[in-house]
Structure 1
């Protein structure tokens, strides 16, 4: 496979991993970067984890990656803690390093194949063809949204990404993870809003589009554990236990499967459930990647009914 080499386009790329108190997930994420031979510089930004395992993982990987402990966030969200404070730091850091592209991952994600020169060449073609785009989402698509995306997501002019319309009922202009054109992001967004929904709403109002890569190379792990208010309270733990949350890492894709993915008909959207192998997870037709009640809804059957009931109780 045509991996990135230090003499190639990797000089334009820097990678950031955002971490908080999920040691086993973080370890898997960082191991995937090593297994996929990522050669771009990697910075792990930890949101002041106090979990002993997470702290041990951070210490162990100091030999491989730059580790940064975040300062106290000026604004902390209930769902994501100080993530957006840390993302602002990452953008500033990428600018200071003179990097064109910044790849953002979270600790409950992993690479599933090597990043190639051709992947960044495709990203360059996408950004050139779409001056109103600042991000290429480099994850696989989710089968949960299949019907919606089959109808609405279309290949862009470069043939390297799918675009959703600005009135798409979901994320069409921004995601907290993926490949950002650093200068373009500053031009179009100015600065980050606080939270994923706020940034996506801003993008939709401004006509900013996000590409969904036809050449995905990373993904969230299915049915992850999550935090709310940087804590795992008893109700959340119960909901996630019933929803079958846990640690379900992906196999790294074998070479022949990567070739099949990259050479497929591009009208075939790349859904995670169709392409990725998760050997420790009992097969289910649709995966959840969000934690909390989302896992109950994705499991189907009585668990879906329980999740729907709890949603009605929460939102009335």
Structure 2
């Protein structure tokens, strides 16, 4: 039997150093996997130079609007339309592949999909240590398929991440057969998935996580607070150390009562980065956080 195939789509905008970190981590830990960068009209010189170095692995997309996510969901649809693989891993440029991805990992994903015919989205992400109680209350281990399944009160009003998340492994054929078209927000996609599919599954051995303290774009621009935070923190990628092959094996053999929180298994290269990890640079200091909130409030009250 032909093994299942996997493509990777990476979505990028004006964060060249982060994109480079993402791509290089992919090449180290998922060698041979085909990837395409969907760039949403970057114009920052360093980002453009790196995109050019990737050659045919880049598709230059024209943003469909100036909303919070730019053309992100249109680009996701383009990636889904273009792939010829069985499964498609969706990544953003501020993510890092933090451990070796083995054939066993792909086989387990395939097994989950095969035995869960209404499953379309599988999360490859480590869980956030800042939300320990949330994940432990809402996900329960499935020892048979070695994954975690949503188990919260069905009356709970969250469709994200119960049904959908932007970062996921997608079952391409099932999405196409359903006539799926990405909506303009994560919440709207969660609501759509709720009408079509079963719950999203969380892998037991994730291999991807968000790089901490990254510059967060809103409406395709950085707020003054976000720019200030980056300067205060130092304009460098707070990248992770790769998990060793032996550590990865030990991780895969652990009891599922030990949840895969990133802070418990993955360390940053810079030891001064604090845990639990924070994922927008402006959240690490009070002044940038306040300035960011004030600017976003001003945008809502006085739109251009």
TM-score between the two structures when normalised by the length of structure 1: 0.83
- CA positional deviation for 1:134: 0.6
Superposed CA RMSD: 2.9
Q: Secondary structure of 2:272's match? A: coil
Asked if 1 retains the 8 angstrom alpha-carbon contact of 2:141 and 2:147, the reply is: yes
1:208-245 superposed Cα distances (whole Å, 9 cap, x missing partner): 31111111111110111111111123243235656888
- Residue 81 of structure 1: aligned partner: 70
- What 5-or-longer segments of structure 1 have no aligned partner? 1-6
1:139-194 superposed Cα distances (whole Å, 9 cap, x missing partner): 10111211111112112474332122453645211111121111122345722111
Which of 59, 62, 69 aligns to 2:60? It is: 69
CA distance in 1 between partners of 2:247 and 2:79 (Å): 33
Aligned positions of 1:104-253 closer than 5 A: 104-156=90-142, 158-164=144-150, 165=152, 167=156, 169=158, 170-188=160-178, 190-204=180-194, 208-238=198-228, 247-253=237-243
Cα 1:60–1:309, aligned 2, differ >3 Å: closer, same or farther? closer
Cα 1:234–1:285, aligned 2, differ >3 Å: closer, same or farther? closer
- CA positional deviation for 1:67: 1.3
Cα 1:36–1:18, aligned 2, differ >3 Å: closer, same or farther? same
- Residue 16 of structure 2: aligned partner: 23
- Residue 47 of structure 1: aligned partner: 40
Asked if 1 retains the 8 angstrom alpha-carbon contact of 2:223 and 2:292, the reply is: no
1:266-308 superposed Cα distances (whole Å, 9 cap, x missing partner): 121101111111021524231122x266x24xx7xxx399669
Q: How many residues get paired?
A: 294
Asked if 2 retains the 8 angstrom alpha-carbon contact of 1:8 and 1:117, the reply is: no
1:106-158 superposed Cα distances (whole Å, 9 cap, x missing partner): 11111112221111111111112322221111010111211111112112474
- What 5-or-longer segments of structure 2 have no aligned partner? none
Bigger RCO (CA 8 Å, 6+ sep): 2
Q: Secondary structure of 1:133's match? A: coil
TM-score between the two structures when normalised by the length of structure 2: 0.86
